[in-house]
Amino acid sequence: MGNSFGHAFRITTWGESHGGGVGVVVDGCPPRLALTEADIQPDLDRRRPGQSSIVTPRKEADVVQILSGTFEGKTLGTPLSMWVRNEDARSEAYSEMAHKFRPSHADYTYQAKYGFRNWQGGGRSSARETIGRVAAGAVAKKILRERHGVEILGFVGQVQDIQATVDLDMFTADQVESNIVRCPCPTTAARMIERIETVRARGDSVGGIVMCVARGVPPGWGEPVFDRLEADLAKAMLSLPASKGFDVGSGFDGIMLTGSQHNDAMRMREGRVRTVSNRSGGIQGGISNGETVFFRVAFKPVATIMMEQDTVDTSGHDTTLKGRGRHDPCVLPRAVPMVEAMAALVLVDHALRHHAQCE
């Protein structure tokens, strides 16, 4: 239960952090889409560990292999299966966790639910599960880009109190990828990197916000009531490891405005309905309105830190846990492709549903 996501474009991820590998099965991918591993690998490279000095040093190439669903470089319309082998698990580093619960991790809650858990690297609760999401998201992004003209871009917008000012209509992927923290504002990026390195030197961790935009989304995607576009985006983002908050458009900042200040005035422009402002974040009544969709996702400080912490063991005794293991001092740089992937999965699912229902 709980391992699948989507309706018309549905994914099921599988695998554990220290098992043989992790992967995904995609059902509903349209046929005749040109697709090889080369289309998927770049996003996995952006997600993989060991890519810079401010992420976990775990060494994984994360090379993807397509197992089914393609022929002669094109999708068949049948289930698409992809996997990545685990190569640098080092399970012995987690031996203490076999009998102790890591604070703010899923150790205790998995034990409470199942009465049994994989303590090696967190098992299914590990962020390595997101490899399947990012692989499937790369396919979704290609469908959106080539068949609908939709571009999805994420970036690190804030680390603790260090906040970037970015024009959401103008920043580019090259600007995001120009530095290791994935912030398109160079001066702010330097400050973010310095903060992360300072916190890491203390053996601690830090959180922040990933912002994401979807440009070119046409009006009409989304469903009323329960499957509202922003509701599905919220579920997608809050299903990511370490995510703790989501808002779209003006979000929580909108509470400081009156209705007359917050409403997006409408005008005809180039033969179609446009809004003068975009406080709605491109979504009204749960359905896209043709403006840029944008939202924020808050990520907590990574729970694994290099400090001794108070905890409880599996026998119900108070104890302490030593600071050990390989971890990200800040999850945000690697979360950017994860956020993009989940946004793409939601949007391609609604694109297919809209086509089936209304076209």
**By the 8 A CB rule, do 25 and 81 touch?**
yes
Cα–Cα distance measured from residue 251 to residue 116, given in angstroms and rounded to the nearest whole number: 39
Poorest-pLDDT segment among 23-32, 97-106, 277-286: 97-106
Q: Report residue 91's pLDDT band, with 50, 70 and 90 as the boundaries.
A: low
Q: Report residue 255's pLDDT band, with 50, 70 and 90 as the boundaries.
A: very high
pLDDT for 123 equals: 77
pLDDT for 325 equals: 62
Q: Report residue 92's pLDDT band, with 50, 70 and 90 as the boundaries.
A: low
pLDDT for 4 equals: 97
Beta-bridge mates of residue 4: 12
Cα–Cα distance measured from residue 271 to residue 61, given in angstroms and rounded to the nearest whole number: 49
| Mean per-residue pLDDT over the chain, rounded | 93
- Give the mean pLDDT of 177-203: 96
**What is the per-residue pLDDT across 192-237, written as a single tens digit (0 to 9) for each?**
999 999 999 999 999 999 999 999 999 999 999 999 999 999 999 9
- Give the mean pLDDT of 131-142: 98
- Give the mean pLDDT of 106-123: 86
**By the 8 A CB rule, do 62 and 44 touch?**
yes
Poorest-pLDDT segment among 73-82, 119-128, 179-188: 119-128
Cα–Cα distance measured from residue 131 to residue 240, given in angstroms and rounded to the nearest whole number: 11
pLDDT for 301 equals: 96
Residues with Cβ within 8 Å of 10's Cβ and at least 6 positions away in sequence, in order, are: 4, 26, 27, 28, 349
pLDDT for 90 equals: 64
pLDDT score of 52 more than 90: no
Beta strand 266-269 with 309-312 is unpaired
Q: Report residue 95's pLDDT band, with 50, 70 and 90 as the boundaries.
A: confident
Q: Report residue 326's pLDDT band, with 50, 70 and 90 as the boundaries.
A: low
pLDDT score of 275 more than 70: yes
Query: Which of these, 174, 212, 186, lies nearest to 42 by C-alpha position?
Result: 174
pLDDT for 172 equals: 98
Query: Which of these, 215, 279, 283, lies nearest to 251 by C-alpha position?
Result: 279
pLDDT score of 94 more than 80: no
Q: What's the CA angle centered on 54, arms 19 and 65, to 5 degrees?
A: 35
Helices vs strands, H then E, count in the chain: 8, 18
Query: Which of these, 155, 159, 202, lies nearest to 182 by C-alpha position?
Result: 155
pLDDT score of 93 more than 80: no
**By the 8 A CB rule, do 208 and 158 touch?**
yes
Domain ranges of the chain: 4-358
- Give the mean pLDDT of 134-145: 98
Cα–Cα distance measured from residue 329 to residue 126, given in angstroms and rounded to the nearest whole number: 15
- Give the mean pLDDT of 290-300: 98
Count the residues in the chain.
359
Q: What is the CATH number of domain 4-358?
A: 3.60.150.10
pLDDT for 39 equals: 98
- Structure-block tokens of residue 121: 């690297």
pLDDT for 235 equals: 98
Q: How many whole angstroms from its chain centre is CA 142?
A: 17
Query: What are the strands, taking DSSP E only, across the chain?
Result: 4-5, 10-15, 21-27, 64-68, 70-71, 74-75, 80-85, 151-159, 162-163, 208-215, 243-248, 266-269, 272-275, 283-284, 287-288, 293-299, 309-312, 318-321
Cα–Cα distance measured from residue 311 to residue 308, given in angstroms and rounded to the nearest whole number: 10
pLDDT for 60 equals: 79
- Structure-block tokens of residue 129: 């599960």
Cα–Cα distance measured from residue 144 to residue 151, given in angstroms and rounded to the nearest whole number: 7
- Give the mean pLDDT of 240-248: 97
Query: Which of these, 184, 138, 171, lies nearest to 333 by C-alpha position?
Result: 184
Q: What DSSP character marks residue 349?
A: H
Query: Which of these, 238, 346, 230, lies nearest to 297 by C-alpha position?
Result: 238
